[in-house]
Amino acid sequence: MLERSETETSESVRTPVPMLDLKRQYEPLCEELEEALGRVLETQQFILGEHVREFELSAAEQLGVKHALGCSSGTDALWLALAGSGIGAGHGVVTTPFSFFASVSSILRAGVTAVLADIDPATLNLSPAAVEKVLEIGRGARARAILPVHLYGQCVEWSEFARIGRERGLTLIEDAAQAWGAEWHGVKVGALGDAAAFSFYPTKNLSAAGDAGMVTTNREDVAERVKMLRQQGMRRRYYHDEMGWNARMDGFQGAVLSVKLKYIGKWNEARRALAAGYDELFQKAGVAEPGPYPVHGVVLPREVAGAKHVWHQYVIRVARRDALREFMAARGIGSEIYYPVPLHMQEALKGLGYGEGDFPEAERAAREVLALPIFPELREDEQETVVEAVAEYLS
């Protein structure tokens, strides 16, 4: 294998590939976005108001869901979805240890016990079989809800979660933060569970110009509660029925998101083409392995039958991940690790009472995953550069 210093040629440094370049999305939309922002200034509707309402209505229509409610972030959307579904003190919620921090912190913020179950090594999503096992024992037996995360833009095996929910009378909350437009047998995520939470953090497939999020639901009672909770627990101005919070979406974000909503279908298709492109390039380079665990080469992510993946991330598994990442960085090629530390091993979540060894699949994934550059405007030659670098490192 080549050492980093031997490969740091002036040529390789000349062809960097960014992990994400948001300016490429902004440039062709510049005028449209500025016009939309101008309308917010003209109307002075800064908090919720008509621009957020307009986005909510088109978002609900696109997802095929009855209610779409804008809020301040994906983290708040998770809390609102839980609290709005009546999950609270004394309840337990089962989720994955292999996700972003907010998947668990929002459960704790709702005053609920977080119960973890391991992931499926083939998809890196929460394993329905592991959830069923956990529900049989200890804290899991008192669980009132399951919160699966559609990680990297791929829907979890929803039919299984729906069955488990039905059989045990559990509420299903989707963490759809990374998965706008993803589907399960033709139904969009966000329309599958009792409620769902989206994030429009700037790096997401559908992104705001700041922090923003959304709760979707087909349930009238949940929608009504979420509206009250995001607005300080008020149904009537200055009459606070419950412990709500300030979790509102602002008008500028609503306006930006309404513009981008028109393009997200096209952007997600571009991501799907890029993912297929990576698959083909890795196969051609002769470094792809069947998995689920890597040996000498690269295990490619795969789309599960029944799921439509929107490739928020294209995540490979590789044995000497950190060294590969350094090798790529030396050539100016971006990559990222989502996530280096599973949630049960995070300092802030020690109180959950888990420790190393409790979720071996999540722990192993945390050592092996590497997200490669993927965004709608990524060029084919840039993908080739990425794959060439990985293949060279492995040769």
Is 178 a binding residue for ligand PLP by CB under 6 A? The answer is yes
Radius of gyration of the chain (CA): 21
* Position 193 contacts ligand PLP (CB under 6 A): no
Rounded CA separation 158/189 (Å) = 9
Give 103 or 383: the residue with its C-beta nearer to ligand PLP.
103
**Contact at 8 Å (CB) between 151 and 122?**
no
CB of 72 to ligand PLP, least distance (A): 8
Give the number of residues in contact with ligand PLP, rule: CB under 6 A. 16
For residue 371, give the 3-state DSSP assignment: strand
The residue sitting closest to ligand PLP, measured at its beta carbon, is: 74
Is 297:339 a contact under the CB 8 Å cutoff? no
Taking the least distance from each CB to ligand PLP, the nearer of 17 and 208 is 208
**Smallest distance from ligand PLP to CB 104, Å:** 10
Q: Where are the beta strands (DSSP E) in the chain?
A: 67-71, 92-95, 113-116, 143-147, 171-175, 183-184, 187-188, 195-199, 213-217, 234-236, 239-240, 288-289, 298-299, 307-308, 314-318, 369-372
Q: Say if CB 119 and CB 103 are below 8 A apart.
A: no
Shortest gap between Cβ of 196 and ligand PLP (angstroms)?
A: 11
Say whether residue 199 binds ligand PLP (CB under 6 A). Answer: yes
92 near ligand PLP, judged by CB under 6 A: no
Query: In angstroms, rounded to a whole number, what is the distance separating the alpha carbons of residues 58 and 254?
Result: 11
The residue (of 63 and 81) whose beta carbon lies closer to ligand PLP is: 81
The amino acid sitting at 339 is: Y
Based on the shown chain and the rule CB under 6 A, indicate whether residue 102 belongs to the binding site for ligand PLP: yes
CB of residue 343 vs ligand PLP: minimum separation in angstroms?
11
Q: What is the per-residue binding string for ligand PLP in 203-222, x denoting contact by CB under 6 A?
A: --------x-x---------
Q: Is 149 in the site for ligand PLP (CB under 6 A)?
A: yes
**Distance, CA of 53 to CA of 70 (rounded, Å):** 8
In the complex, what is the shortest distance from the CB of residue 385 to ligand PLP, in angstroms, rounded to a whole number? 27
Stretch that binds ligand PLP, among 131-139, 174-182, 264-272, 285-293 (CB under 6 A): 174-182
Q: Which of 70, 74, 190, 301 binds ligand PLP (CB under 6 A)?
A: 74
Exposed/middle/buried for residue 314 (C-beta within 10 Å: 0-12, 13-18, 19+): buried
Q: Phi and psi for 142 in degrees, rounded to 5?
A: -95, 5
> Which residue number, 202 or 277, has a Cβ lying nearer to ligand PLP?
202
Please tell me whether residue 62 binds ligand PLP under the rule CB under 6 A. no
The identity of residue 356, as a single letter, is: E
* Amino acid, single-letter form, for residue 379: R
Where does this chain bind ligand PLP (CB under 6 A)? 73-75, 78, 99-100, 102-103, 149, 175, 177-178, 199, 201, 211, 213
